[in-house]
Chains A and B, each alone.
Chain A
Amino acid sequence: MDARLLLLADSRLPAGGHAHSGGLEPAVTAGAVTDVAGLADFLRGRLATSGLVAAALAAAACAHAHTGDQAWERLDAEADARTPSPAQRQASRAQGRSLLRAARTTWPHPALEALATAVREPHHPIVLGVSAAAGNGTPHQAATITAYGAITGPASAAVRLLGLDPLAVHRTLADLASGVDRIATEAAAAPDDWAALPAPSAPILDLYAELHMSADLRHFES
C-alpha cells in the first residue's frame, strides 16, 4: 500500500475529524452506550449502515476521479439522498470541507480541484474517495479507509466521553476489522450505476443526530 494512503487513514490527519463523534455522543446522552460492549454494538450497527453507504460513495468517487470525468454534483446529490437527517448532512459537509482543505494541501491533484470547483462543500465520503485517488489508491482502498474511519472516529470519542479503557476499545476495533474488510469489499463491488449504490439507513441514529443539534450541552459537533 502507498504510504500516502496511510496518512489519509490516520486520525492525526488535520481534517477536523476530532470534533465529531460519528453519532456516538447523542447515543451516550440517550443512555444507549455506556460500556465497551455497548460501544461494540453501536459500531457494528454503524458500520453496516452509514459505514457501508459512505464506503460505497467513497469507492465511486475514487473510481470517478481516476476516469477524469466530472459529474461531481450528481455524485454529491447521491450522498444527500442517502443522508436523510439534515444534521448529518451538515456534519458530513463540514467534514468534507475540512478534508478538502487538508487534501488539497497534502496531495495536490486535478480531481480535488475539479471537485472543489463543482461543489462548495462536498460530502465527506466523496472527498475521501477523491483524496484516495489523489494518493494513487484504488476504489477498494478508498472504501476500506472510509469504513475504517466509520468505526475509529466514534471509538475515540467513546474513550474521551465515557473514559472507557483504550486498550479494551482497541481490542473491540480489532474484532471488527474483518467486518471492515467485508464492508469495504461489498462497497467496492457496488454497481457503476450510482442510483443503485447501497442505501441502508439507521433511523435511530438519524433521530439522535437531530436531537444532538438542539441539545444545550455537547462536546462534539455531531
Chain B
Amino acid sequence: MGANHDHDPHTAAPAHGRALRLGIGGPVGSGKTALTAALCRTLRDEFDLAVVTNDIYTTEDADFLRRNAVLPDDRITAVRTGCCPHTAIRDDISANLDAVEALEERHPGLDLIIVESGGDNLTALFSQGLADRQIFVLDVAGGDDVPRKGGLGVAAADLLVINKTDLAPMVGSDLDMMARDSSRVRNGRPVAFTSLREQPGAPEVADWVRSVLHEARHDNSHTARNHDHAAAS
C-alpha cells in the first residue's frame, strides 16, 4: 500500500482496467454542477465520459446537465440520497455504486465517471470505495474564511477548486488569504482558482483531470506488472 493508498483494492470496485471515478463535492451552490458541465464539454472529445449526480430533493442537477446536452442522456444518472448527501458518498455508497456499475455496463470502455455529490458541509469526503480521486469545490462568496476553517473536504481533496473568483470584488473576498490558508492545511496538494462565468471550459481543472487520467493509466499497467512484487512486500 503506502504511496499507492489511493488505489484502494475494493472488491466491488476493482481498481484496475475500469473507468476512473472522480468525485466532485462541496457546499451547496458552490458550482459543482457548473464544473461537471465544464469538464464534460472540455473533455468529451478526448475521453469516454459519464456522470452520476446526487440530488437532494429533485433531479435538478441531472436535468440541468441533460438540458445543456453536455453528454447524451443515457450517460447521466441521478441518485437520490434520502436526506443525507454525505451518507450516499461515504458511509453507504450502494446507490452510487449501482449507478456507476450500470453506466459501465451500458458503456463499456468508459474512461471517466464523474460523481457529483449533493451540496453538503465541510466534513463531507468521498469514500475510497466510490471515488479514486476527488475535487472539493468552494466559492469565494461563501466566505473567505472557509479555507482557514478547514474541514476534511478542504484539507484532503486531491484538488481544491475555489470558484466564482469573478464575484470576489463584489463580496470583498481576499483571494490571497484564501490561497495562503488553503495551502497551510493541504500539504502541497493543488488549489485552483476558477471563474466558470469567465472561463466556462475550466481549462485548469481539465488539465488536472487529464494528468490524473494519464497517471492512472500508467499506474494500472505498472501495477499489473508489479503485482507479485507488491503482494510480497
Co-complex (A, B): yes
Residues on A facing B (Cβ under 8 Å)? 12, 14-21, 94, 97-98, 101-102, 105, 157, 160-161, 216-221
Determine whether B6 belongs to the interface, using a CB cutoff of 8 Å to chain A. Answer: no
Could you tell me which residues of chain B, from 92 to 124, have a CB within 8 Å of some CB in chain A? Answer: 92-95, 97-98
C-alpha spacing A174/B97, complex, angstroms: 34
Contact B82 A216 (CB under 8 A): no
14 A-B contact pairs sorted by A residue (CB < 8 Å): A12-B91, A16-B92, A16-B94, A16-B98, A19-B95, A94-B95, A101-B94, A157-B82, A218-B57, A219-B57, A219-B81, A220-B80, A221-B80, A221-B82
Nearest B residue to A157, CB-CB: B82
- Residue pairs across A and B with CB atoms within 8 Å: the count is 64
Contact A14 B94 (CB under 8 A): yes
C-alpha spacing A20/B82, complex, angstroms: 6
Determine whether B83 belongs to the interface, using a CB cutoff of 8 Å to chain A. Answer: yes
Give the residues in chain A near B38, CB-CB below 8 Å. none
Question: Given A14-B92, A15-B94, A101-B12, 16 other A-B contacts at CB below 8 A?
Answer: A16-B92, A16-B94, A18-B84, A18-B87, A18-B88, A18-B91, A18-B92, A19-B81, A19-B88, A19-B95, A94-B95, A157-B83, A161-B83, A219-B56, A219-B80, A220-B83
Q: Residues of B within 8 Å of A, CB-based: how many?
A: 20
Nearest B residue to A121, CB-CB: B98
Give the residues in chain A near B82, CB-CB below 8 Å. 18-21, 157, 160, 219-221
C-alpha spacing A93/B94, complex, angstroms: 13
Label chain B's interface by main secondary structure: loop
Determine whether B68 belongs to the interface, using a CB cutoff of 8 Å to chain A. Answer: no
Give the residues in chain A near B81, CB-CB below 8 Å. 18-19, 219
Give the residues in chain A near B11, CB-CB below 8 Å. 105
Nearest B residue to A94, CB-CB: B98
Contact B80 A218 (CB under 8 A): yes
Nearest A residue to B127, CB-CB: A14
Give the residues in chain A near B83, CB-CB below 8 Å. 157, 160-161, 219-220
Contact A216 B88 (CB under 8 A): no
Give the residues in chain A near B58, CB-CB below 8 Å. 216-217
Contact B95 A221 (CB under 8 A): yes
Give the residues in chain A near B88, CB-CB below 8 Å. 18-19
C-alpha spacing A202/B97, complex, angstroms: 32
Give the residues in chain B near A219, CB-CB below 8 Å. 56-57, 80-83
